Amino acid sequence: MSASAFHAGDANHRHLEMLREKLASDALIWFRTCETFGARAGIALAERLADFTGARVAGHTHIIGFHQSGLHGLAPGQRADWAEDEGLLEGTPESPRRARRSAPWRTNTITCLASSVPTRWFSREYRAAAPA
């Protein structure tokens, strides 16, 4: 998926529209993949996808395996509150070259056995709006 998919006229735009039409009101789109929400491009993807689909989104900033680090979530209309360089081993947030491997001591780490995203790892705005 590229940023252009969010623009009408792009070949993949209709696919995103079809996905949005099928989502339940409480949907979570969770990218259980390596470093999807890492660096500047990953943060932009998280924010644009949440806003476009109207769904909560979650993804990781690190290379994942059994341990899955850097798990963050956003709801529509919210901005990322994690650092652009989280999980970055080489390169810059604008031009990442290599991500860190997940480890139990890294930020926001779950294991592959976990089946949900902890609410505390969503943006501060989401946590503040969530019922106690």
Q: For residues 80 and 74, is the Cβ–Cβ distance under 8 A?
A: yes
pLDDT at 130 over 70: no
Classify residue 19: in a domain, yes or no.
no
pLDDT of residue 4: 84
The distance of Cα 32 from the centroid of its chain, to the nearest Å, equals: 9
DSSP 45: H
Classify residue 22: in a domain, yes or no.
no
Classify residue 79: in a domain, yes or no.
yes
What does each C-alpha distance from 45 to 50, 67, 105, 118 come to in angstroms?
Answer: 8, 23, 26, 20
What confidence tens digit (pLDDT) does each residue in 26-42 have? 999 999 999 999 999 99
Classify residue 77: in a domain, yes or no.
yes
Please state at what angle helix 13-22 crosses helix 39-53, rounded to 10 degrees: 60
Classify residue 39: in a domain, yes or no.
yes
Name the pTM for this structure. Answer: 0.91
Classify residue 12: in a domain, yes or no.
no
Nearest to 28 by CA among 51, 48, 50: 50
Q: Rounded to an integer, what distance in angstroms lies between the CA atom of residue 35 and that of residue 63?
A: 6
As for how many domains the chain has, the answer is: 1
What confidence tens digit (pLDDT) does each residue in 70-117 have? 999 999 999 999 999 999 999 999 999 999 999 999 999 999 999 999
Domain holding 64, by residue range, is 28-129
pLDDT at 132 over 70: no
Q: For residues 45 and 53, is the Cβ–Cβ distance under 8 A?
A: no
